[in-house]
Amino acid sequence: MATDTNEIKEQIATEVRRMHPRLIELSQTIHANPELCFKEHKAAELLTNELEEHGFEVERGVAGMDTAFVATFGEGEPVVGIIAEYDALPQIGHACGHNLIGTWAIGAGIALRRAMPDVKGTIKVIGSPAEEGGGGKVIQADAGVFDGLDAAMMMHPRDRTYLDRGSLAVTPFEIEFFGKPAHASSSPETGVNALDAVIQVFNSINALRQAFKPNTRIHGVITHGGDAANVIPEYTSASILVRADDQDYLEELNEKFRNIVNAAALATGCEVKIHEGISYQQRVCNTRLVETFGENLTALGHEYEIPPEGAGVGSSDIGNVSQLVPTIHPYLQICDPGVGGHTQQFAEASKSERADQLTADGTIMLAWTAADVLLRPELRDELRQSFREQLGREPRMSTT
């Protein structure tokens, strides 16, 4: 049996390459059966069954979500968490590559278990549903799922390889206006136009953009604008995302947005309902854990880029995890530069031959990084110190 870190890493790579055909099968099966947030029943069953077959103890229905799970092997400290995502997008399926994220995560967990059957510590594969708007990790974080981890990690596919990339905090809003119908030509004055109200919201947002700080984003769509051109709309609705690069400013923007919506209702005479969703916090990747992952990535012969300064970023519920424990969220290139996420082109890329081949290397990178955390006490100390320096507080992790 391998006894030192390098020997164990060699064994991990051997185990992953043995599993490679199965990893491809798992990724392709999830891709061919896209499921929306909180409805990922096939994917969750596929992944949990695979983990159970390889000796993991699986808890399903974690944090009150049917498709969430925690698969555990080993016991005691240290504790490493590898996060799986597996939800898809409406209409365009796995256009964010979560089929790969889920496959990399369980592959890394299984490879660690095979290479380290007598591991001193705990390997957790954490199945997190509903990243695309449902906030699965936020719900899990509130339930304490990530407490006690020495490190949390996941990897995301994209058109370039990055070790670290920030994200914006975000709050989703659904707004509804209720007016009064009338004939739009013969008696419009007797109606109350709900479409005017929702249009006013977008106009007011645009009028305030000059006053927003950099890296602020407020954007959305009208989800219902009326039913007929000759009828004053009595009901309209919109879905809007408010984003900022820090939580305090996000709260300030949220308040401004609520004021805009209420003002539009007052100006038009409509009734209004504001539905505020789960907020995602900004992502703060642990610098020392990022360095460790980078060492493993380059050891496998891959290169990475530094994201250009000022480049736009999105949001993810992994941000909430990064506020609790040392966390990484690197990106692995699976397609040519310029193929953007959340597009049909990226959906095709996430099931391509190139992506299939990278199911092995991506799994190895994560497993090697997890092995470093499990086997190197000095690294765990450095992760804690990096967390303190970056966030100004203690992580919610083990203290030995």
**128-179 confidence digits (pLDDT tens):** 999 998 999 999 999 999 999 999 999 999 999 999 988 999 999 999 999 9
Tokens of 199: 């249009």
- pLDDT class for 396, splitting at 50, 70, 90? confident
How many angstroms separate the first and last alpha carbons of the chain?
27
SS3 15: helix
- Is pLDDT above 60 for 400? no
- % of the chain exceeding 70 in pLDDT: 98
pLDDT value at residue 62:
98
Distance CA 225, CA 236 (A): 5
Instruction: Report how far residue 199's alpha carbon sits from residue 213's, in angstroms, rounded to the nearest whole number.
Output: 23
Residue 359 backbone dihedrals phi, psi, to 5 degrees? -60, -30
Cis peptide before 78 (omega within 30 of 0): yes
Q: What is the pLDDT of residues 271-313, one digit of tens each?
A: 999 999 999 999 999 999 999 999 999 999 999 999 987 777 8
Closest CA to 60 of 151, 33, 51: 51
Q: What is the arithmetic mean of pLDDT over 194-203? A: 98
How many angstroms separate the CA atoms of 168 and 139, rounded? 18
* CA gap 229, 192 in Å, rounded: 15
Domains belonging to the chain, first-starting first, are 5-167+282-391 (3.40.630.10), 169-276 (3.30.70.360)
What is the mean predicted confidence (pLDDT) over 203-210?
A: 94
pLDDT of 314: 86
Mean pLDDT over the full length of the chain: 96
Report pLDDT digits (tens) over 314-366: 899 999 999 999 999 999 999 999 999 999 999 999 999 999 999 999 999 99
Q: What residue has token string 């969703």?
A: 277
| Global model pTM greater than 0.75 | yes
- pLDDT above 50 for 399: no
pLDDT level of residue 198 (50, 70, 90 thresholds): very high
User: How high is the pLDDT of residue 225?
Assistant: 98
CA dist., res. 12 & res. 126, Å (int): 20
Structure-block tokens of residue 296 = 């493993």
| pLDDT-based confidence at residue 39 (cuts at 50, 70, 90) | very high
**What average pLDDT does the segment 187-198 reach?**
98
- The three-point CA angle 324-330-335 to 5° equals 150
